[in-house]
A = this chain, B = another copy of it.
Amino acid sequence: MDEFDVIWHTEPSLDDPVLVEGLPGVGHVGKLAADHLVDEFETDHVATVYSEHFPPQVTVEDGVSKLASAEFHAVDADGTDLLVLTGDQQAGDGPGHYRLTTTFLDVAEECGCETAYALGGVPTGELIEEYGVVGAVSEASLVGPLEDAGVEFRDDEPAGGVVGVSGLILGLGGRRGFEAACLMGETSGYLVDPKSARAVLDVLCAKLGFEVDYESLDERADEMEEVMEKMQEMQQQSTQTPDDDLRYIG
């Protein structure tokens, strides 16, 4: 295998497509949101990217293994063309993040994308009542239109900047001429958070002018709610402090 192996499954003909990235990260918010778009609309599997910069790992489903990879799907979102990038892994090393993102942007450019949305979560450290969506953009002119779509831009957030592929889609994408924005749903940071994913999708829909059915995402949210209630019961029955019991569950 070469450093990168881009397998094209189909040559998509897309109309002014928008790159939407959702790889694993805080609360799996970005991944949940991107996967939901792939699940809800008609899609074409465009390309698969393998790389030695992914962890040396296969995932297994029904006994069948799948090598660490990222997938591009052409998604017809109610007439809006999306190129959705999903996967189960981030890069395993620093330079690998730069090189993977460069490869991703190459594919997106080849598909005609000039705009990119990186979806993700921003950890608040506490349970969320109202799910805000925090934004970061590649150029100042993008702030206004996103505020109109409900995105919040805050002075000191996200405090540590944006790391990983999402950050580099802003940084490397912006340098290559992409209009790039990162939409980060607030999330506790402790749990896989379908509600935060829905908040992010709400903003994306408002901005791009399409609608998506949330039923399956809401069901997933209900399941998480049940998990949390069970955990809280267990906490009350035990002598341990709540903090000791909170683990990352999905």
Contact = CB atoms under 8 A, between A and B. Distances in A.
A132 to B, nearest CB: 14
Interface residues of A, number: 56
B137 A57 contact: no
Interface string A136-154: 1111100100000000011
A72 B199 CA distance: 41
Contact of A67 (B62, B64, B172): B172
A136 B60 contact: yes
Interface string A205-245: 00000000000000000000000000000000000000000
Interface stretch (A10-18, A20-28, A73-81, A97-105): A97-105
Nearest to A94: B92
**Copies of this subunit:** 4
A125 interface: no
Contact of A137 (B64, B93, B137): B64
Contacts of A64: 136-140, 143
A170 B65 contact: yes
Contacts of A68: 171
B94 A53 contact: yes
A47 B180 CA distance: 24
